[in-house]
């Protein structure tokens, strides 16, 4: 028995998380498995925070006074009040019960009903509909029960666990399953570039809330004040909207995701609001985002010479985010597929393609600050390279977070990271199936940030155009943006080197000929040795 306890104590966090997935391998859809595991983790972590807060009250007052046993008292500290049957200790005690699924669904429903910030966040009737047998449920609960701070000395255990399940279920699911999760390193890069130190961060398609989580990590990393940052978002998918509320609430991040899930285009839940920071990963090349005659008079899309086509929402997302940016200091960092660079462009500047017309206006109005092409195979929805766009309403000289910025009017920074594919992470999808994705290291993220800051700086001595990496481009000039018909394709501006030109072909051919002669000579010697060997044992070879 002691040996068994020791083995359990030494188990790794990754093993526990993998065992949680294994417990539900043969039941439910990928989406239901994800929600079931995350809901149990929510109950576990919510109970840990509840018990910790309760102990603080006991330490201060002794027995808990009745007037302090109020939901609002707990909610004020970003802690959820839990009735006894909703606490993790009760769930563990009843893990082997025949009606454990009913008990779990009741616990989630009652927690949501009693805590207003969680309204609409927790799944209803999930565990009953999962149809998992008692053994599978007990196994899953036993594994989740191992997730505590005493066993795993993780600085952000809640974050590690949630990110693992969001990441791995996105990796092993369909294209739609992957849309709610943006790789953490990409979100980290966006936060490093737009610096959301204070003010409101907005995401019009917030998925599982990863942009907001990383914003708070950025504030913590740079010793900022979380209370100076608020988050506002919207999500169209009902299940993902609930997932985002759970993800943020269990981490203690206050958020306004609207009263329900809704399409940002057809039902803007934050109408007429402006934001200092915008971060987003919209669905790539979204089709049928509007009807043929819908939104033509929408103020978000008026005044740009054209309305984005119904066949592709890329420029609809751009214009929506611009309409939300603070007019004096708003900045946005978001991801788009690379076909947004020059869609609709041609040799004729009077092209009637709506995307071309809008892109031309974006550049003439000086809204684009930087275009960064990311490495291939970073995302679950596609293996192609995608791009990070930065829009800025203030490209004039000013001070920002202790840095003196120069006037970058009518100038765009282009960066190409497609060659940065040396780092990868492996995700275990199944016992015999794995997937690798390219990731950016912390050192690489800092290198990109430093390049961007150096380009922005009044003292520009630390910035230089680098072939196959970066180029600062003006609107005018022989190879300027106007001369290239308003294309934003980095390869049109960044110098690329033909490495074949560096080869000394006569010298290389001489080397190859020498090596071929050596191989032929070695073969002749081997044949001669073989003939002598056979002759020595009485066999003649003619």
pLDDT digit string, tens, across residues 373-425: 999 988 876 778 899 999 999 999 999 999 999 999 999 999 999 999 899 88
Q: Phi, psi at residue 373, to the nearest 5°?
A: -85, 125
Helices (H), 251-369: 314-324, 354-364
Q: Is 337 helix (H, G, I), strand (E, B) or coil?
A: strand
Helices (H), 262-312: none
pLDDT for 463 equals 95
DSSP state of 226: G
pLDDT tens for 275-297 read 999 999 999 888 999 877 888 88
With CA atoms as reference, report the closest residue to 481 among 171, 472, 535.
472
Q: Is the pLDDT of residue 527 over 60?
A: yes
Q: Phi, psi at residue 476, to the nearest 5°?
A: -95, 175
The separation between CA 303 and the C-alpha centre of its own chain, rounded to angstroms, equals 32
DSSP state of 491: G
Residue ranges matching CATH 1.20.1260.30 in the chain: 11-153
Q: Is the pLDDT of residue 541 over 60?
A: no
- Just give the CATH number of 11-153: 1.20.1260.30
pLDDT tens for 157-182 read 777 787 888 777 777 665 555 566 78
Percent of the chain with pLDDT over 90: 53
In the numeric block, which tokens belong to residue 488? 């934003």
With CA atoms as reference, report the closest residue to 493 among 467, 519, 513, 523.
467
Determine the Cα–Cα distance for residues 73 and 80; give it in Å rounded to an integer: 9
- Just give the CATH number of 172-464: 3.40.50.150
Q: Give the confidence band of 153 by pLDDT, cuts at 50, 70, 90.
A: confident
Helices (H), 365-497: 442-456
Residue ranges matching CATH 3.40.50.150 in the chain: 172-464
pTM: 0.83
C-beta of residue 377 within 8 angstroms of C-beta of residue 420: no
More confident residue, 369 or 434: 369
Q: Kindly report the average pLDDT of the chain as a whole number.
A: 86
Q: Give the confidence band of 505 by pLDDT, cuts at 50, 70, 90.
A: low
In the numeric block, which tokens belong to residue 445? 């993220």
Determine the Cα–Cα distance for residues 248 and 270; give it in Å rounded to an integer: 19
Q: Give the confidence band of 86 by pLDDT, cuts at 50, 70, 90.
A: very high
pLDDT tens for 440-467 read 999 999 999 999 999 999 988 899 999 9
With CA atoms as reference, report the closest residue to 331 among 391, 376, 377, 261.
391
C-beta of residue 117 within 8 angstroms of C-beta of residue 75: yes
More confident residue, 413 or 121: 413
Determine the Cα–Cα distance for residues 259 and 238; give it in Å rounded to an integer: 11
Q: Is the pLDDT of residue 123 over 70?
A: yes
Determine the Cα–Cα distance for residues 492 and 496; give it in Å rounded to an integer: 10
Q: Phi, psi at residue 42, to the nearest 5°?
A: -60, -50
pLDDT for 252 equals 84
Determine the Cα–Cα distance for residues 407 and 124; give it in Å rounded to an integer: 53
The separation between CA 65 and the C-alpha centre of its own chain, rounded to angstroms, equals 44
C-beta of residue 127 within 8 angstroms of C-beta of residue 85: no
Determine the Cα–Cα distance for residues 214 and 232; give it in Å rounded to an integer: 14
Residue with structure tokens 């949501």? 112
Determine the Cα–Cα distance for residues 108 and 283; give it in Å rounded to an integer: 30
More confident residue, 90 or 30: 90
Q: Is the pLDDT of residue 502 over 60?
A: no
Helices (H), 299-441: 314-324, 354-364
């Amino acid at each position: 028995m002691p040996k068994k306890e020791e083995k359990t104590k030494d188990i790794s966090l990754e093993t526990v998380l993998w065992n949680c997935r294994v417990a539900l391998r043969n039941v439910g859809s990928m989406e239901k498995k994800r929600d079931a595991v995350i809901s149990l983790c929510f109950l576990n972590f919510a109970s840990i925070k509840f018990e910790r807060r309760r102990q603080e009250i006991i330490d201060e007052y002794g027995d808990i006074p009745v007037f302090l046993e109020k939901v609002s008292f707990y909610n004020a500290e970003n802690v959820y009040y839990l009735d006894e049957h909703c606490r993790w200790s009760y769930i563990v005690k009843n893990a082997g019960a025949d009606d454990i699924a009913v008990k779990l669904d009741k616990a989630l429903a009652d927690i949501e009903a009693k805590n207003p910030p969680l309204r609409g966040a927790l799944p209803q009737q999930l565990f009953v509909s999962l149809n998992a047998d008692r053994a599978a449920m007990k196994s899953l609960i036993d594994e989740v029960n191992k997730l505590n701070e005493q066993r795993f000395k993780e600085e952000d255990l809640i974050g590690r666990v949630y990110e693992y399940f969001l990441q791995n279920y996105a990796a092993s699911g369909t294209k739609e399953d992957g849309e709610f999760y943006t790789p953490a390193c990409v979100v980290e890069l966006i936060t490093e570039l737009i610096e959301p130190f204070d003010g409101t961060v907005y995401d019009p398609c917030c998925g599982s809330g990863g942009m907001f989580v990383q914003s708070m990590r950025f504030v913590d990393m740079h010793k900022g004040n979380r209370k100076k940052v608020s988050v506002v978002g919207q999500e169209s998918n009902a299940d993902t909207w609930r997932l985002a509320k759970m993800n943020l609430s269990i981490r203690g991040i206050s958020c306004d995701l609207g009263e329900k899930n809704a399409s940002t285009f057809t039902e803007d839940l934050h109408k007429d609001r402006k934001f200092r920071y915008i971060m987003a990963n919209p669905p790539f090349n979204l089709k049928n985002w509007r009807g043929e005659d819908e939104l033509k008079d929408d103020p978000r899309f008026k005044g740009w010479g054209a309305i984005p086509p119904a066949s592709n929402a890329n420029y609809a997302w751009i214009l929506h985010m611009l309409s939300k940016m603070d007019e004096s200091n708003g900045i946005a960092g978001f991801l788009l597929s690379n076909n947004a660079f020059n869609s609709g462009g041609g040799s004729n500047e009077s092209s009637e393609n709506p995307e071309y017309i809008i892109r031309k206006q974006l550049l003439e109005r000086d809204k684009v600050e930087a275009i960064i092409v990311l490495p291939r195979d970073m995302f679950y929805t596609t293996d192609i390279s995608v791009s990070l766009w930065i829009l800025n309403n203030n490209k004039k000289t000013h001070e920002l977070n202790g840095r003196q910025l120069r006037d970058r009017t009518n100038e765009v920074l282009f960066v190409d990271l497609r060659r940065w594919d040396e780092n990868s992470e492996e995700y275990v999808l199944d016992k015999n199936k794995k997937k690798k994705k390219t990731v950016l290291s912390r050192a690489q993220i800092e290198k990109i940030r430093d390049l961007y800051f150096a380009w922005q700086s009044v003292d520009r001595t630390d910035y230089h155009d680098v072939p196959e990496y970066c180029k600062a481009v003006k609107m005018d000039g022989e190879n300027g943006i106007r001369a290239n018909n308003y294309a934003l394709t980095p390869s049109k501006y960044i110098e690329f080197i033909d490495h074949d030109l560096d080869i000394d072909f006569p010298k290389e051919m001489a080397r190859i000929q020498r090596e071929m002669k050596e191989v032929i000579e070695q073969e002749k010697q081997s044949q001669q040795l073989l003939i002598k060997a056979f002759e020595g044992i009485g066999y003649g070879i003619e």
